[in-house]
Amino acid sequence: MKLDLHVHTTRSSDARTRLDQLVPSIRRAGIDGLAITDHNTLSTDALEETLIIPGMEVSSRDGHIIGLGLRSPVPRGLPGDETIQEIRKLGGVSIVAHPYDLFRSAMNPEILTTMPDAIEVVNSGSLFHSFTWKRARSFAQHHHLPMTAGSDSHIPETIGNAFTIIDCESKTVETILSAIRQGATEPEGRPNTFGERLRKTVRWK
């Protein structure tokens, strides 16, 4: 399966993608589904036409951490280690989002004493991606952690610019989360183009 594991909707103040735009965007991108990961807001939306994984992007004290498959929201502002522990208590998968990024609330995962379930090694929104993606991949490989990819999309046009290929037996959320934990993942994708970055910026105003 091809899943974009990092997508924002209008529930994030800096995003403009409506729920009714998700299915057309998924079909355009040629992926099988996505995770909604709005900032500090747990999405439990379900769409009959496609696979949606519930999730959120948590603003921990040390940087952003994605939680997938949560039963309830994780509070913002906790240390990174505690955020990962809370995600696990709630049955979720924890993914360090865009580590090492220079211009966002990005975590240096080397400070962690509790390792996440996975590291996002491809994020389409990253600037200087040749540096940050390589460093994230190196950390994941050194610590034998699964690797994921997500577009970090804030507009419909960038959904699917990055995605994770997941080897799983069925299309249920639990099976997918289990496959991520086991490392049955392959990150793929590209950075956003200048035009896509500009389009996102213009739509903020």
**Averaged pLDDT, 187-198:** 91
**Averaged pLDDT, 135-160:** 98
pLDDT tens per residue, range 96-113: 999 999 888 899 999 999
Distance of CA 127 to the CA centre of its chain: 16
Do residues 65 and 84 touch, judged by C-beta distance below 8 A? yes
pTM: 0.95
Burial class (CB in 10 A: 0-12, 13-18, 19+), 199: middle
Q: For the chain, what percent of residues have pLDDT higher than 70?
A: 98
pLDDT above 50 (res 205): no
pLDDT of residue 135: 97
pLDDT tens per residue, range 30-61: 999 999 999 999 998 888 889 999 999 999 99
Q: 3-class DSSP state for residue 166?
A: strand
Kindly state the tokens that stand for 171: 């299309």
Is the domain spanning 2-204 CATH 3.20.20.140? The answer is: yes
Q: How far apart are CA 181 and CA 164, in angstroms?
A: 13
pLDDT above 70 (res 149): yes
pLDDT of residue 46: 83
